[in-house]
Amino acid sequence: MLALKVVAEGYVTSFRYHDFMWEKQPTYEMPPPATIYGHICSAVGDWIDPSGVRFAYHFTYRAKFEDLEHIWTWDDKLKRETSKPFRRELLFQPRLILYLNRPDLEQAFRSPVYPVVLGRSQDLFSYVSVETVTLAQVDSAYFEHTLLPYNVNRHTSAGYAITLPRYLDYERSRTPDFGRYFVVKDRIDTRTDFMWFGERPIQHYWIDPTSPEVRGVQLGLQFLSFVGDEDEFASVA
């Protein structure tokens, strides 16, 4: 399988919880799929059809910290702007390795139309490398620092379930769709870290052959989508 592999790095980023507005704005530890979709469209320079586009990623950061920011709002009683301080969580030195099933978009990432950002509009990133790679399919792999389908929670407790913005429909006033996922930070090995009830089925995993080898296996890639219902019921285990 041919895939586009994009490595991007930045100084800080933040993926705001959609339902937090005042006092504190925590950050997701993984970029939501909707953020990835917007990032792709920014490189292309237009809204692309999300149907058939699939992605996988490996996302890390060095530390999480808080900064003090202000929101300016209009006060109808005072007839002037007022400032409201709040604490925002930030991720320091984020690094994204993005895989897309669209190698035809390589030139778009080599010469992006809009500034390269991930998260907020001020969270500038740089592309370290952009290349087309050939993925391999194997019967075992490890997963780390990534999003997996929600159903993986049936087979391991080495992560946590979360609801994330999946897609924003800009033709319907940015109407959001949400999806359930399983976040894995620490490394899990499909040979030893998945629990099975009954006979273990035969599984096949996509891997990046250029990724580091750990105990005889390499980095597994679980491709997710922006629309449709297959992710909700998919499982890598």
Instruction: Read off the pTM.
Output: 0.90
pLDDT tens for each residue of 97-115: 999 999 999 999 999 999 9
Instruction: Output 226 or 168, whichever has higher pLDDT.
Output: 226
Give 156-183 pLDDT, tens digit per residue: 889 999 999 999 887 777 788 899 999 9
Domain boundaries, the chain: 2-233
Q: What is the pLDDT of residue 95?
A: 98
User: Two tokens at 203?
Assistant: 């599984």
Compute the distance between CA of residue 143 and CA of residue 159 in angstroms, rounded to an integer: 11
Where residue 136 falls among pLDDT bands split at 50, 70, 90? very high
Task: Please return the burial class of 216, using the count of CB atoms within 10 Å of its CB with bins 0-12, 13-18 and 19+.
Answer: exposed
Give the angle subtended at the CA of 83 by the CAs of 35 and 11, to the nearest 5°: 35
Q: Which CATH class, in words, describes the domain spanning 2-233?
A: alpha beta
Q: How confident is the model at residue 237 (pLDDT cuts 50, 70, 90)?
A: very low
pLDDT in tens, 46-87: 999 999 899 999 999 999 999 988 777 777 776 778 777 888
Of the listed ranges 25-29, 84-88, 132-136, the least confidently predicted one is 84-88
What distances in angstroms separate CA 52 from CA 101, 178, 211, one per listed residue? Answer: 9, 18, 25
Q: Hey, is 214 helix, strand or coil?
A: strand
> Mean pLDDT across the stretch 83-95?
90
